[in-house]
Amino acid sequence: MRIKAIIGLGNPGIRYASSRHNAGFMVLDQLAARWNAQAWFTRYQAKLSLVTAAGKRILLVKPQTYMNNSGMAVRSVLRAYSICPEDMLLIYDDLDLEVGQLRFRRKGSAGGHKGVKSVLDHLNEEDFHRLRLGIGNPPPDVAVVDYVLGAFSKQEWAIMGGVIDIAVEGVELWLHNGVDEAMARVNGTFVESGNNHA
């Protein structure tokens, strides 16, 4: 059975656990809990967990190389498990989407995201699916690096809970029916608070 890789981007350690930049890790933690995944283990510069869900063998991947070097771990894991980029889904935060928005994408550039750029550089390939989670733009007086490494506000957390729930549903759609169905059902969603969305 071919293995699918679901990869969330973030930074390792307690210091960054609740930061905006770790939205990808947050979705993977929720997926692991929903699917009763095996305990996380560390190998190939990543935290990994194996699970069978939606009738598929799935590898959950949290690179531990820090965001800007995410591609090192992604390349190592894909090679070790003989996973093609076409069988992976990359989940990450996105400044170009508002908090409450999420969007599947078939392929494309990094869009200024250094973690995604690292993955593109190490794989030399952009033909893999992505799920982008909006974190909005920083206020004018806050540097981008400080903003992405900062924690969500209480109001943003209320929204992100709903976003993560929809992201998990979207991942299951992606697994069952492919990226076109996931794009059709998820793109355009906007979570205003809690689990309410339009």
Q: For the chain, list the domains and their CATH numbers.
A: 3-197 (3.40.50.1470)
pLDDT over threshold 80, residue 98: yes
What mean pLDDT is predicted for residues 118-141?
96
Whether residue 84 has pLDDT greater than 80: yes
The CA R_g of the chain, rounded to the nearest whole Å, is 15
Angle, in degrees to the nearest 10, between helices 154-177 and 23-34: 60
- Mean pLDDT, residues 79-90 taken together: 96
What number is the average pLDDT over the span 103-119? 94
pLDDT at 73: 98
Banded pLDDT at 53 (limits 50, 70, 90): confident
Torsion sign over Cα 177, 178, 184, 189: positive
Question: Mean pLDDT over residues 147-157, rounded?
Answer: 95
**1 — pLDDT class (breaks 50, 70, 90):** confident
pLDDT band of 54, cuts 50, 70, 90? confident
Tokens linked to 173: 């759609």
pLDDT at 194 over 60: no
197 is catalytic: no
- Burial environment of residue 198 by CB neighbours within 10 A (0 to 12, 13 to 18, 19 or more): exposed
Is pLDDT above 80 for 193? no
Catalytic-labelled residue, pool 21, 113, 129, 197: 21
